[in-house]
């Protein structure tokens, strides 16, 4: 019998080039994960190859939502792994709203996005996706 694969579901997009942004979260020491790095001066580096699921819930995957969803998903990954303290969740949620507005989303829609993650994404900040095997 062949050796099974081990995988997680939920990913639709994959970053092609490294992306850097100041997120205003300044850990005491550098945080390194396979495709993510958060520097003590607040710069988040997301490496090429990082996969994310785009906007969640009933949201529509529009261009003015993609960059925000990438950064938000990366920060939530750091929350789930325990690398970031839970109080940073609100910073990640506010940053999502700010980036969406910066990228051309209406303030009203960005407010709904923010309310949606504040009300419905608490579990996503704390629970990892289970691994599965096949065959």
Tens digit of each residue's pLDDT, the chain (135 residues): 788 878 777 789 999 999 999 999 999 999 999 999 999 999 999 999 999 999 987 788 999 999 999 999 999 999 999 999 999 999 999 999 999 999 999 999 999 999 999 998 666 667 666 778 787
Burial class (CB in 10 A: 0-12, 13-18, 19+), 83: middle
- Quote the pLDDT of residue 127: 63
- Quote the pLDDT of residue 122: 67
- Quote the pLDDT of residue 131: 75
**Residue 128 domain flag:** no
Question: What is the domain count for the chain?
Answer: 1
Could you give phi then psi for residue 11, rounded to 5 degrees? -110, 135
Predicted TM-score (pTM) of this structure:
0.88
Q: Which tokens go with 29?
A: 């020491």
Smallest Cα–Cα separation from 12: which of 59, 39, 67, 50?
50
- Quote the pLDDT of residue 37: 98
**Residue 129 domain flag:** no
**Residue 57 domain flag:** yes
- Quote the pLDDT of residue 94: 97
Domain that holds residue 73: 7-122
- Quote the pLDDT of residue 124: 67
Smallest Cα–Cα separation from 51: which of 78, 20, 13?
13
**Residue 2 domain flag:** no
């Amino acid at each position: 019998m062949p050796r099974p694969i081990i995988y997680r579901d939920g990913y639709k997009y994959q970053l092609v080039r490294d992306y850097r942004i100041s997120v205003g979260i300044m850990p005491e020491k550098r945080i390194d994960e396979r495709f993510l790095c958060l520097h003590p001066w607040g710069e988040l580096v997301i490496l090429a190859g990082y996969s994310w699921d785009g906007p969640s819930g009933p949201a529509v995957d529009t261009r003015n939502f993609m960059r925000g969803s990438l950064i938000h998903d990366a920060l939530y990954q750091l929350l789930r792994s325990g690398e970031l303290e839970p109080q940073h969740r609100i910073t990640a949620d506010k940053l999502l709203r700010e980036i969406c507005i910066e990228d051309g989303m209406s303030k009203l829609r960005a407010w709904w996005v923010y309310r949606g993650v504040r009300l419905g994404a608490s579990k996503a900040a704390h629970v990892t996706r289970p691994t599965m095997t096949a065959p």
